[in-house]
Amino acid sequence: MSKKLKDMLKEDGVLVLPGVYDGLSAVAAKAVGFQALYMTGAGVAYSTLGRPDVGLLSQTEMAEKAAYICDASGLPVVADGDTGYGNYLNVIRTVNLYEKAGVSCIQLEDQVMPKRCGHMSGKELIPAEEMVSKLKAACDARKSEDFLIMARTDARAVYGLEEAIRRAHMYLEVGADILFVEAPQSEEEMRTICQEFKGVPLIANMVEGGKTPLRSKAELEDIGYKIALYPGACGRVVSKALVGLYNELFTKGDTKDYLDHMYIFGELNKLVGLDEIKALENKYKV
C-alpha cells in the first residue's frame, strides 16, 4: 500500500483524501471510489471519546484505529500520528506501530504534548531542533523505504508564516517526504508556501469553518498543492445526522418517517460486505 501511495503522488493532479475515523467510514469512502484515505485524529477523538481534538487519545488507541481502517478498506492510509506521543524514542515506537498496522504514511507535527487541532487557538510548539531529532528518528525507524513521513508545522499560528517556512525547510532537509504547513490564512499565503517548495508534495488542509480558505480541487492544483485533506467533514456530517435522527426519535417516538435519511437493514449490510461473508460461509462450512 505504501508503494501504491507513492505511485499516486507521481500522477498528475491533486490527490483528494477523505477523512475517516473507523472501519465503517473507511468502507463508505471506498464504496464511492476513493483510492486512498486519511485517518483523522480529530475524527477518532470525536467518535471514540466524544471529546475535542486536544491530545486526549493515546498512541496505542490511535494505532489500533489505524489497523481497523487499513484492514476494512484495503487502501493506502495516511494516518495522523499527532506529536508522535513523546520524544524521539516514543516516535520510534509510534512509527513501528503504525507501519505494523498497515499505514502508508504517518503525519507528525511540531506541537507540544498535549496537542490541539491545527485550526484551534492556543497552540504551543517544541523547538524546531527537537522536531528535527524526532523526524530523524522516524525516518530511521521505518522498516520500508516506501513508508512515507509527513512533517507538519503549526508555526504559522504561533510565530508567523516566515517561521513556518523556515521550519518546513529544516524538516524537508532531514528526510520528510511530504510537507504540511498548517493553517495558512489566505490564498496569498497558500501560494507563497507552494512557490517556496515547488516539486515537494504539499498538503492543503480543508477544514470547514477553519482558518484556511476553502478551495476546489482545480484551484488547489493551480495554487500548487499535491494533496487535499478533508479530515473533519465526516465528523461534522455524521454528528449533525445523528442529532437529526435522535431528535426525530425523541419527538415522534419512532423512525418510520426517517427512512429516506438512512440505509435500511439490508442496504447497510451490503455496504459492509455481508454478501462476501456469506460466500465464505458457503465455501468453508461443514
Pull the grid cell for residue 183. Answer: 493553517
Sheet (strand 37-39) strand order: 178-181, 148-153, 105-109, 77-80, 37-39, 15-20, 227-230, 203-205
Domain ranges, ordered by start, for the chain: 2-232, 240-284
Q: Which amino acid is at 23?
A: G
pTM: 0.94
**What is residue 243's three-state secondary structure?**
helix
Question: What is the C-alpha to C-alpha distance for residues 3 and 146, in angstroms, rounded to an integer?
Answer: 5
Q: Which helix (H) or strand (E) holds 17?
A: strand 15-20
Among residues 86, 22, 34, 23, which one has the least CA distance to residue 58?
A: 86
pLDDT of residue 255: 96
**What is residue 125's three-state secondary structure?**
strand
Give pLDDT tens digits for 223-273.
999 999 999 999 999 999 999 999 999 999 999 999 999 999 999 999 999
Say which DSSP state 22 is in: S
**What is residue 201's three-state secondary structure?**
coil
Give pLDDT tens digits for 19-74.
999 999 999 999 999 999 999 999 999 999 999 989 899 999 999 999 999 999 99
Query: Does the structure show a pLDDT above 90 at 76?
Result: yes
Query: Does the structure show a pLDDT above 80 at 168?
Result: yes
Parallel, antiparallel, or unpaired: how do β-strands 227-230 and 105-109 relate? unpaired
Query: Does the structure show a pLDDT above 90 at 208?
Result: yes
CA atoms within 13 A on the CB side of 109: 27
- Evaluate whether 211 touches 119 at the Cβ level (below 8 Å): yes
Pull the grid cell for residue 175. Answer: 528526510
**Terminal Cα-to-Cα distance of the chain (whole angstroms):** 35
- Evaluate whether 159 touches 181 at the Cβ level (below 8 Å): no
Give pLDDT tens digits for 92-135.
999 999 999 999 999 999 999 888 887 878 889 999 999 999 99
Say which DSSP state 214 is in: P
**Across residues 273-281, what is the average pLDDT?**
94
Dihedral angle at the C-alpha atoms of 118, 142, 64, 178, nearest 10 degrees?
30
Among residues 81, 61, 83, 58, which one has the least CA distance to residue 134?
A: 83
Among residues 98, 57, 104, 69, which one has the least CA distance to residue 227?
A: 104
Task: Give me Rg for the CA atoms of the chain.
Answer: 20
- Looking at domain 2-232, its CATH superfamily turns out to be Phosphoenolpyruvate-binding domains (3.20.20.60)
Q: Which helix (H) or strand (E) holds 20?
A: strand 15-20
